[in-house]
Amino acid sequence: MLENFYKEVHGTHIRLLKEVYGGTWDALVSGRADLAVGAPGEGPPGGGYAAKMIGIVEFVFAVAPAHPLAFLPEPLTAGDLLRHRAVSAADSSRTLPPRTMGLLRGQDVLTVPDLHTKLEAQRLGFGVGYLPKHLVQDDLAAGRLVAKAVAEPKPAVQLFLAWRTGHKGKALRWFLKRLQDIWIGSSMVNSGG
């Protein structure tokens, strides 16, 4: 998409950001970003943006094959999980309250900067936790991770395409048109804005 953009539009500076959890919404509502692709969950109150759901992410509770939880009967209970370190990707929010997912009160936690580092930490057995199903399918098939059923599974999360409504630059319009063609057709729905 960037290649096509640069063929058609000149003189525009593009900056790509990588945010985690609420940090995606935070970048949008604080003005650090004009467009967010894959913003998880509902956006914050206060308006200033429009959003459209583009997909749903399902999660798998995954452990390294040599991890002690790999050998316990299913479903794993909260008590089983509490005895083992969780790996958590840090929410990159700067102004919005940070979000956490799948952690138990009192559980030892290794916090890492993003989902790919979380995946690697879980492969290495440094801890356990939920990972997006699409991200771990190859690891599960190859035996680098083991999926475990849990008594209280994490629900799927909606992902949104979201954009600031107060900024109507040429680049934003260009990307919105292409992304809408891919995911949502030509309809635009305002959410909170």
Mean pLDDT in residue range 6-34:
90
Whether 9 maps to a domain, the answer reads yes
Whether 190 maps to a domain, the answer reads no
Same domain flag for 133 and 169: no
Mean per-residue pLDDT of the chain = 89
150 vs 192: which has the higher pLDDT: 150
Whether 112 maps to a domain, the answer reads yes
Same domain flag for 76 and 124: yes
Domain, as residue range, for 71: 59-147
Same domain flag for 105 and 171: no
pLDDT for 135 equals 96
pLDDT for 190 equals 41
pLDDT for 100 equals 67
Whether 167 shows a pLDDT value over 90: the answer reads: no
Look up the CATH number of the domain holding residue 180. Answer: 3.40.190
The vertex-78 CA angle with 72 and 80, nearest 5°, equals 30
pLDDT for 101 equals 67
User: For residues 50, 52, 54 and 57, what is the CA-based torsion angle, rounded to 10 degrees?
Assistant: 80
96 vs 84: which has the higher pLDDT: 84
Number of compact structural domains in the chain = 2
| Window from 94-108, 114-128, 155-169, 176-190 with minimum mean pLDDT | 176-190
Look up the CATH number of the domain holding residue 113. Answer: 3.40.190.290
Whether 77 maps to a domain, the answer reads yes
pLDDT for 63 equals 98
Same domain flag for 67 and 124: yes
Residue type, 97: P
Tell me: cis bond preceding 75? Omega within 30 of 0 counts. Answer: yes
Cβ–Cβ under 8 Å, residues 165 and 50: yes
For 113, the 3-state DSSP assignment is coil
pLDDT for 180 equals 83
Whether 193 shows a pLDDT value over 50: the answer reads: no
**How much of the chain, in percent, has pLDDT values that exceed 90?**
68
Tokens of 100: 């956490």
Mean pLDDT in residue range 153-181:
90
Q: How far apart are CA 120 and CA 122, in angstroms?
A: 5
Whether 99 shows a pLDDT value over 80: the answer reads: no
Mean pLDDT in residue range 24-33:
92
